Chain A
Amino acid sequence: MKPFVLDHADSPDAALAALDAGATAIAGGTNLVDLMKLELATPEKLVSIRRTGLDEISADGDGLMIGALVSNADCAAHRRVREGWPLLAKAILAGASPQLRNRATTGGNLCQRTRCGYFYDSTQACNKREPGSGCAAREGFNRIHAVLGTSDQCIATYPGDMAVAMLALDAVVMTEGPYGPRRIPLAMFHRMPGDEPSRDNVLEAGELITAVRLPAPTGGVQVYRKVRDRASYAFALVSVAVDLAMEEGRIARCALAFGSLGTVPWRDRAVENVLIGEKPTPALFAQAAEVLLKDAQGFGENDFKIPLAARALAATLHEATQTGKA
């Protein structure tokens, strides 16, 4: 690990001042410490934001404000989250291990880096790690990589689960920064690689996530299905989050988000529009999958994700619409 100076911020303002002076924020450290050990992240200054007081979950009108420092475990264990936004609790509990969820935070989880093997191997070309060096994944071992939202420069996925549920729930990322507070819809938070894959999200230099806001509970049926290589403690190959409501045998409302399928947590309103107002049938689910995957592009080892996503979508919709009938 490269040497660094570590300071501790005791308030959001102190954290912002440190960020303004060029420090990198550290919270749980479950991703950043690992990246520092591998010298893929080499901050000269770190500021711990653990004691900034941003670790509360509180009501915000009909919605919920989840502080950036709330651990994944505490969020998933919180009574209001479990009752009002079960999709979020389910997605969090599907991710990582209990030990990691105890330490990982809400804000940090949104900022976690990809798990692309070439990103972690400094002897390999990776535009995300070293802009301009190329992308070894396109022609390499790319079983876990994205089939949607890729570019010539990068095909890495955003690997998390929590953000996928938040995307389906219309969450908003609350930030403070040099230009004042921002409310960034989660759908606009993560960046597709384009020609600048080193930037995973739209946070500006000096900007700090303070909370994630969930709008009022929808009361819908919420299902999170995660397909992975082992039953627990593994990243998704494909995951599907759905929040839907049935009325008189038809899908009245539907929000869908997908994980590890695209370069960012993926939501496509055209897919939801195929489903809304219709009776749930296998043919309808197949039609929705066709719309979802019309621009999907595999790179060899990850070709299987395209039919897998179609099947995972159908299975998730089947479960949610059967439950919703009751």
Chain B
Amino acid sequence: MAATTLTARVNGADRPLPADARRTLLDWLREDLGLTGTKKGCDHGQCGACTVIVDGRRINSCLSLAHLHEGDTIETIESIGTADALAPLQKAFVAHDGFQCGYCTPGQICSAKAMMQEFAEGWASAVSEDVAARPEFSTDELRERMSGNLCRCGAYSNIIAAIEEVMATQAQPGRAGA
């Protein structure tokens, strides 16, 4: 088969999809595009280290094939902030020590960013009192909504504190978000 000209939009630029249909979205981002911020943890959808945002929604990039994303808009950790210009979530993770080794952190941050959008849209969770109502913010809600991201170092309490701070800031009008 001739080299494909199909593309996906990654961090604002159209990138040609890989020749091999077996390439997972994760391996394409890391191995072909050099976007190694996204991490490979379990490679089986059990840890969340590979979380990226596709068309505004967080997914496990290890469980998808790159070729299933033709025309999709993909955001990785590289688009969220830089060392010189950290995004609010990144600043908060630093301020609260929301990591030890840092391997799960890109996935945590991508997941948290998309989670905040889900919450803003009024999605309920398994711990919401009334699934039909707009959920009230609580630490339990945050824990449940971030359960798809494991932290081998067990920095959970600080991860939650970091995200809580950003969400509280965002709730105030006129303040910049993630």
Q: Which residues of A approach B to under 8 Å, CB–CB?
A: 1, 3-6, 8, 26, 28-30, 33-34, 37, 46, 48, 50, 73, 76-77, 82-83, 86, 89-90, 93-94, 96-100, 102-103, 231-233
Instruction: Determine the distance from Cα of A98 to Cα of B113 in the docked complex, in whole angstroms.
Output: 12
In the complex, are the beta carbons of B131 and A100 less than 8 A apart? Answer: no
Known: A93-B131, A231-B147. 9 other contacts (CB 8 A): A3-B21, A4-B21, A5-B21, A6-B65, A6-B67, A26-B68, A48-B67, A98-B111, A102-B58
Chain B residues positioned under 8 Å from A33 (CB to CB): 24, 63-65
Please tell me if B164 contacts chain A, counting CB pairs below 8 Å.
Answer: no
Instruction: Determine the distance from Cα of A50 to Cα of B59 in the docked complex, in whole angstroms.
Output: 15
Closest to B115 in A: A98
Chain B residues positioned under 8 Å from A6 (CB to CB): 21, 65, 67
Instruction: Determine the distance from Cα of A51 to Cα of B71 in the docked complex, in whole angstroms.
Output: 12
Instruction: Determine the distance from Cα of A82 to Cα of B24 in the docked complex, in whole angstroms.
Output: 34
In the complex, are the beta carbons of B45 and A30 less than 8 A apart? Answer: yes
Q: Could you give 21 example pairs across A and B, Cβ below 8 Å?
A: A28-B63, A29-B65, A30-B60, A30-B63, A33-B65, A37-B43, A73-B57, A73-B118, A89-B132, A93-B124, A93-B126, A93-B131, A97-B148, A98-B115, A98-B118, A99-B48, A99-B51, A99-B59, A99-B111, A100-B60, A100-B148
Instruction: Determine the distance from Cα of A73 to Cα of B80 in the docked complex, in whole angstroms.
Output: 23
Q: Max chain B CB contacts within 10 Å: which of A28, A82, A94?
A: A82
Instruction: Determine the distance from Cα of A152 to Cα of B44 in the docked complex, in whole angstroms.
Output: 30
Chain B residues positioned under 8 Å from A4 (CB to CB): 21-22
* Total residues of chain B contacting the partner, CB 8 A: 37
Please tell me if B152 contacts chain A, counting CB pairs below 8 Å.
Answer: no
Closest to A86 in B: B131
Instruction: Determine the distance from Cα of A46 to Cα of B149 in the docked complex, in whole angstroms.
Output: 30
In the complex, are the beta carbons of B123 and A99 less than 8 A apart? Answer: no
Chain A residues positioned under 8 Å from B132 (CB to CB): 82-83, 86, 89
Chain B residues positioned under 8 Å from A30 (CB to CB): 45, 60, 63-64
Instruction: Determine the distance from Cα of A62 to Cα of B115 in the docked complex, in whole angstroms.
Output: 33
Please tell me if B14 contacts chain A, counting CB pairs below 8 Å.
Answer: no
Closest to A232 in B: B147
Please tell me if B169 contacts chain A, counting CB pairs below 8 Å.
Answer: no
Which of B21, B59, B121, B128 contacts A103, CB < 8 Å?
B59
Chain A residues positioned under 8 Å from B126 (CB to CB): 90, 93-94, 232
Instruction: Determine the distance from Cα of A121 to Cα of B126 in the docked complex, in whole angstroms.
Output: 31
Please tell me if B144 contacts chain A, counting CB pairs below 8 Å.
Answer: yes
Instruction: Determine the distance from Cα of A150 to Cα of B2 in the docked complex, in whole angstroms.
Output: 49
Closest to A120 in B: B44
Please tell me if B158 contacts chain A, counting CB pairs below 8 Å.
Answer: no
Please tell me if B39 contacts chain A, counting CB pairs below 8 Å.
Answer: no
Binary interface encoding of chain B residues 101-122 relative to chain A, with 1 for a CB under 8 A from any of its CBs, else 0 = 0000000000100110010011
In the complex, are the beta carbons of A34 and B144 less than 8 A apart? Answer: no
